[in-house]
Amino acid sequence: MVIEPGVLYVVATPIGNLGDISARALQVLREVNWVAAEDTRHSQGLLHHFGIRTPLLSLHDHNEQDRVPRLLEALRSGESIALIADAGTPLISDPGYPLLHAIRDEGLKAVPIPGPSSLLAALSVAGLPTDRFVFEGFPPSKPQARRQYLETLRHEPRTLIFFESSHRIQESLADMAEILGPDRPAVLARELTKQFEEIHAEPLSAIRDWLAEDPNRRRGEFVVMLHGTTTPRSASVTVEVSELLAQLLAELPVKQAVALATRITDWPRNTLYQQALAMKGKGALASDQRKEDTEI
């Protein structure tokens, strides 16, 4: 492999076990001009372990706005950069989106160097459906916001995957059990690839109780996976979805409002279309339909 000038390499690094790093990742980290890291102190230990002396630059939530122009200028001048997270694949609930977005806008090149990901590692051993799944990142930290957020996922049919921190895992699991159902099949993965790795599969309420039995089980980093709902969704649109649809209809023709609401809520298009017709009324609908027919 030849390191290209002016290229950003997005490099996956181990999530725990250093033996999981790839030979390609090591080559890139050795040969680029710079390594942009979320926490340079943490990443310096990784580079030191493999005898890599490439200089580090920090790139995290608090300095991205100022750092991105500097990195873009380095790429334009022909320097190569590796982007790494503290662990795993960058940009998966980690900093880096503004940089990648800017690179695409500028027509610069980004190359993935794939490797470890706690998300996919956990899913691969969960025993839950993997043909369709949705990654939801970290749930909201505040209890009320978290509960409202979980309500929006009550009817999600795909396997649900979350990250959660040690100091919120117990409360999050309790809210999930209450809102998404105590008997919902679930898998909790803790400290993947590390010394105290645990993968525990039970219904949500049982996992909640298992976690509460031993404070040591609440340490580390967690991936929570839940089976999607098997309960058919009500034929009537919820109040929240109806309010969203009303806001969209105030600004957009029926066809566009329904299409956007379908993407946002994952509700069936036909159901939302019928709701939109009822909300707009025949007079407004006729006007909008003529406008849409003209656009087509």
Are residue 107 and residue 123 in the same domain, yes or no?
no
How far the first Cα of the chain sits from its last, in Å, is 49
Q: Could you tell me the pTM of the whole model?
A: 0.77
pLDDT value of position 224: 98
Token pair for 32: 């680029």
Residue 88 inside a domain? The answer is yes
Proportion of the chain above pLDDT 70, given as a percent: 92
**From the CB of residue 285, how many other CB atoms can be counted at a distance below 10 Å?**
16
Residue 232 inside a domain? The answer is no
CATH number where 132 lies? 3.30.950.10
One-letter amino acid of 15: I
pLDDT value of position 296: 37
How far apart CA 241 and CA 264 sit, in angstroms, is 9
Boundary (domain end) residue, out of 54, 85, 116: 116
Boundary (domain end) residue, out of 92, 116, 140: 116
Are residue 41 and residue 141 in the same domain, yes or no?
no
Residues with Cβ within 8 Å of 168's Cβ and at least 6 positions away in sequence, in order, are 139, 141
User: pLDDT tens, 32-82?
Assistant: 999 999 999 999 999 999 999 999 999 998 999 899 999 999 999 999 999
User: pLDDT tens, 150-185?
Assistant: 998 988 999 999 999 999 999 999 999 999 999 999
Boundary (domain end) residue, out of 195, 226, 257: 226
More confident residue, 119 or 280: 119
Residue 92 has pLDDT above 50, yes or no: yes
CATH number where 17 lies? 3.40.1010.10
User: pLDDT tens, 26-40?
Assistant: 999 999 999 999 999
- Total domain count for the chain? 3
Domain residues for the domain of 81 are 7-116
| Contact by Cβ (8 Å): 32, 55 | no
Are residue 102 and residue 21 in the same domain, yes or no?
yes
pLDDT value of position 239: 78
Are residue 184 and residue 127 in the same domain, yes or no?
yes
Rounded to 10 degrees, the C-alpha dihedral 34/40/42/48 comes to 40
**From the CB of residue 274, how many other CB atoms can be counted at a distance below 10 Å?**
14
**From the CB of residue 234, how many other CB atoms can be counted at a distance below 10 Å?**
9
- DSSP, residue by residue, 139-206: PPSSHHHHHHHHHTTTT--SEEEEEE-TTTHHHHHHHHHHHH-TT-EEEEEESTTSTT-EEEEEEHHH
